[in-house]
């Protein structure tokens, strides 16, 4: 803990701020009395995808504004990583420059003496991830799996969560990182750079068969037995050594024996399928070990690898766990929430009493702000009552038009969930093509469905109806031809089950579309161009709308405009 003002509690409970600004995915979250009030990622404000190298200054200011408080009201700050410990592990010399966890870097515009800042608690990165998955899961008891690139020299961790806290069972070091393995594989296939997501490899894998020799296997844990040994304590040097080894192995052993450009990705389908299958096999082994060690019926998942919908679907189907919760902000942005929750537990001496049932924790906008943006853009919208808006939009979607949908508080995490979405008719195959073309994406990439929760069993086989579009399931064979825009080549989909309680207007839109078409579902992808963050403001939405000739309608709150 960095010394500062001691924690205090007012009549409504303490305000706790969690932040992540560890290289990428900068974010901030605010709790009161252990319950989430606001949560946002810096990229939505800075417009720099993944906010690499940025501090979550604007995200923090939004959270404070949404809570109606100032930094002076915050009782404690949780950091989503122990950065000083990482400096030691990585053997980074202190050159006297500002430390990455220095509050003055995070709050450069806050005119407080250093001693007046709240107490700051660094939380181990994987503990923050685990806390972000377990405490909001609604589970009294759970096995917790954290897998990512790495955090403080650790790449995979197994925990047992209970009301007493998170007990570490085992962890695995950075040289056997599953996240690094998948990232280098995506790079080899031409699908990864600083602004793109490794998840593209997951979509490509469905087009191939796992027939390629790859280096990852299970040897009492994740292992790369064909690669030269790297010491577990080798720090940053060993991490980069392993990274180079993986790329070298792929080029020497995996067709077509050369790192790709994005245009050549389809030559790497079998490679992608083999990497995906090896990752899933290792995750199943880890889950099996967790079940044996905890005896829990519940599994909670976080860490960047937790964004792999296909792997999550296999874990849901092929393990002994009965219930599954995957943190929708599984990547490093979620560690801000986890750090805040863990600080609350430690200071309050009791577990947070809150369940994450939706992801709508970001900014929303007033009518006057939206009118001003339309006016500045020279657009004249029509304002409609809720019911009229739903019926009008359902009608244009049923006719095959694409719609930009910007309503309510923004989602957190990389999946659009009916807050900042591009919507289309799932029953028309060309919807898939047009949405990818509008976004400037590769044409082979899949599009996901949003479906009313009540109708989920009609369309999909799977025990977990995820509200976060993060667990893949198989579409029932008899309905695949009815919804071709949202079923991938292998018959899978990654549906969002929408409840009326979580998002009543979006749920009503799905129902209205269902009355017209017999399909209570929409094709839903994020409202952004490729390599850009999801739109954050009305001005962002208008710019994106104008850059997408295929999208003819834009909804912002109750305003509708036609291109």
Active site (catalytic) residues: 24
Q: Environment class of residue 562 by beta-carbon count within 10 Å: exposed (0-12), middle (13-18) or buried (19+)? A: exposed
CB 129 within 8 A of CB 334: yes
CA atoms within 13 A on the CB side of 226: 12
CB 17 within 8 A of CB 30: yes
Closest CA to 561 of 363, 392, 391: 392
Q: How many CB atoms lie within 10 A of CB 104?
A: 12
Structure tokens at 390: 């739903």
**Host H or E run for residue 406:** strand 402-406
Q: How far is CA 261 from the centre of its chain?
A: 25
**What DSSP designation does 2 have?**
B
| Token pair 């950075």: residue | 174
Enumerate the β-bridge partners of residue 346: none
CA distance 317 to 274: 20
CB 386 within 8 A of CB 505: yes
Please give the full DSSP string across 226-285, using - where no structure is assigned. Answer: TSPP--TT-HHHHHHHHHHHHHHHHHHHSTTSSPPPGGGGGGGHHHHHHHHHHHHHHHHH
Phi first, then psi: give them for residue 470, nearest 5 degrees: -135, 5
48 three-state secondary structure: coil
CB 364 within 8 A of CB 371: no
C-alpha distances (whole Å) from 394 to each of 124, 331, 521 are: 47, 33, 11
Contacts of 472 by beta carbon, 8 Å cutoff, 6+ apart = 309, 310, 312, 313, 314, 492, 493, 494
Phi first, then psi: give them for residue 312, nearest 5 degrees: -60, -40
CA distance 210 to 309: 18
Contacts of 68 by beta carbon, 8 Å cutoff, 6+ apart = none
166 three-state secondary structure: strand
């Amino acid at each position: 803990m960095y010394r500062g003002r001691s924690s205090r509690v007012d009549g409504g409970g303490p305000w706790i701020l969690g932040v992540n600004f560890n290289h990428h995915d900068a974010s901030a979250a605010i709790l009161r009395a252990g319950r989430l009030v606001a949560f946002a990622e810096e990229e939505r404000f800075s417009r720099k995808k993944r906010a690499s190298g940025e501090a979550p200054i604007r995200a923090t200011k939004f959270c404070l504004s949404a809570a109606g408080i100032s930094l002076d009201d915050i009782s404690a700050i949780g950091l989503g990583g122990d950065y000083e410990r990482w400096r030691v592990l990585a053997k980074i010399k202190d050159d006297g420059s500002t430390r990455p966890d220095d509050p003055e870097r995070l709050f450069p515009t806050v005119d407080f003496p250093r001693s007046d800042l709240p107490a700051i608690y660094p939380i181990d990165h994987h503990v923050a991830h685990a806390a972000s998955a377990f405490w909001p899961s609604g589970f009294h008891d759970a096995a917790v799996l954290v897998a990512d690139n790495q955090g403080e020299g650790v790449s995979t961790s197994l925990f047992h969560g209970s009301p007493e806290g998170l007990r570490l069972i085992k962890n695995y070091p950075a040289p056997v990182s599953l996240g690094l393995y998948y990232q280098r594989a995506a790079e080899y296939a031409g699908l990864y750079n600083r602004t793109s997501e490794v998840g593209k490899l997951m979509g490509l894998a469905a087009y191939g068969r796992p027939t390629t020799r790859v280096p990852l296997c299970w040897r009492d844990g994740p292992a790369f037995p064909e690669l030269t040994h790297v010491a577990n304590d080798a720090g940053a040097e060993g991490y980069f050594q392993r990274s180079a080894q993986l790329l070298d192995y792929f080029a020497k052993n995996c067709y077509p024996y050369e790192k790709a450009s994005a245009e050549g990705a389809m030559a790497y389908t079998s490679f992608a399928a083999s990497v995906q299958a090896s990752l899933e096999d290792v995750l199943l082994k880890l889950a099996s070990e967790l079940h044996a060690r905890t005896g829990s019926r519940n599994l909670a998942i976080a860490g960047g690898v937790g964004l792999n919908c296909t792997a999550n679907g296999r874990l849901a189907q092929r393990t002994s766990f009965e219930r599954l919760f995957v943190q929708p902000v599984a990547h490093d942005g979620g560690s801000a929430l986890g750090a805040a929750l863990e600080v609350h537990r430690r200071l309050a001496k009791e577990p947070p009493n809150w369940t994450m049932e939706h992801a709508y924790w970001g900014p929303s906008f007033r009518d006057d702000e939206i009118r001003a943006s339309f006016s500045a853009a020279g657009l004249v919208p029509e304002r409609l009552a809720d019911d009229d808006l739903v019926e009008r939009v359902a009608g244009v979607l049923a006719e095959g038009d694409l719609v930009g949908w910007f309503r309510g508080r923004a989602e957190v995490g990389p999946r659009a969930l009916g807050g900042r979405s591009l919507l289309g008719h799932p029953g028309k195959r060309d919807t898939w093509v047009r949405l990818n073309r509008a976004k400037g994406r590769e044409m082979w990439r899949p599009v996901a469905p949003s479906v009313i929760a009540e109708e989920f069993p009609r369309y999909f086989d799977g025990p977990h109806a995820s509200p976060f579009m993060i667990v893949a399931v198989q579409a029932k064979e008899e309905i695949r031809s009815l919804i071709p825009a949202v079923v991938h080549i292998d018959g899978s989909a990654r549906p969002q089950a929408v409840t009326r309680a979580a998002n009543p207007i979006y749920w009503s839109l799905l129902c209205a579309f269902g009355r017209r078409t017999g399909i209570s579902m929409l094709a839903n992808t994020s409202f952004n161009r490729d390599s850009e963050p999801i739109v954050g403001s009305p001005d962002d939405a208008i710019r994106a709308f104008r850059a997408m000739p295929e999208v003819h309608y834009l909804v912002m709150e109750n305003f509708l405009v036609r291109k």
